[in-house]
Amino acid sequence: MPEFKIHHVTRYIYESAVRDSANQIILYPIQDEFQEVVKHQIKISGEPHVDTHIDYYGNEIGSFTHIEPHMQLEISSKIWVTTKHRMFPIDDMFADQQWISLQTLRYQVPYIDFLRQEYFEGLTEMQALVTVHKQKNETPYQTAVRYCKYVYENFDYIKGVTTVETTLDEIWKIKAGVCQDFAHILMEMLRVVSIPARYVSGYICTTKSTSMRGEGATHAWVEAYIPNYGWLGLDPTNNIIANENHVRLAVGRNFTDCTPVKGVYKGASGHTLEVTVSVGSEYDAEEHDYENIHHDVPPVVQPATKPVVRNSYREYLEMIQQQQQQQQ
């Protein structure tokens, strides 16, 4: 049973004092039979009170307001979490029976949201493609794994080529992006064939001897609903089934439902954003205590006023922070 220690820091440094910063955080790991939170600490500069509630999809949401003028806002989340291995689905039903079972979910809550397709110009092309790749007598599980492999093999993992505003059409055309783009494409493919699919945000945790795309930052993957099994995690960025190395923060219809940090403030738009994610595990605990976990990647620092290509996650945070202040 692996134990991971994760430190996620989001830091804003403003060019002049800002005030009335209202924020929402989704940094509370899911707790269930496969994931147990041993300890969790959230520290926010200014020590504002954080109110929490459970949203429609079962995620714990925090909200706080920093009213006083401030030059910096830092949100630090430290997590100690243990995970358990999940058994893979056993296809002990005939394929036809499983597809019929999925059809009965079309008008059932909570599956409706996870079957609703997002229209885009390339949808017809996608529908034709998934039909070609769906083999006769294939079960939903086999189909989902096949589509995961298709995204992995046919889309290039390139940081900075997309932003949160990049549409499905653009991703479909350039065949490139980051983990959240891969997840959105896979979800759409699964929904086309009536497999409920939901977006998952969290972290991918590796040891010194292993490495995967998406480590050192927040990660995204998909969960597909498989009859007689439940929700199966699929990571198209790495072409693997999400298991004990994936720590889940939230689930939803898409990235917007699961954004780790978003908010607005009053003040000048110029600021610098730094986001770092550090991961340690039981395997390197003897060499690194939690307060000194090695950084998988160096901090990323981007001036908001400089026209540079940015990662989707950072772009989204900056966009949300500036949405309303220009109207003040």
pLDDT tens, position by position, 107-165: 999 899 999 988 888 899 999 989 887 788 899 999 999 999 999 999 999 988 988 78
Residue ranges of domains in the chain: 3-83+258-327, 95-253
| 230 pLDDT higher than 50 | yes
Roughly what angle, to the nearest 10 degrees, separates helices 140-154 and 95-103? 80
Topology of the domain covering 3-83+258-327: Immunoglobulin-like (2.60.40)
| CATH number of the domain located at residue range(s) 95-253 in this protein | 3.10.620.30
Q: pTM for the whole thing?
A: 0.84
pLDDT tens, position by position, 184-206: 999 999 999 999 999 999 999 87
Q: What is the largest CA-CA distance in the chain?
A: 64
Mean pLDDT to the nearest integer, 68-93: 93
User: 42 burial class (0-12, 13-18, 19+ CB within 10 angstroms)?
Assistant: middle
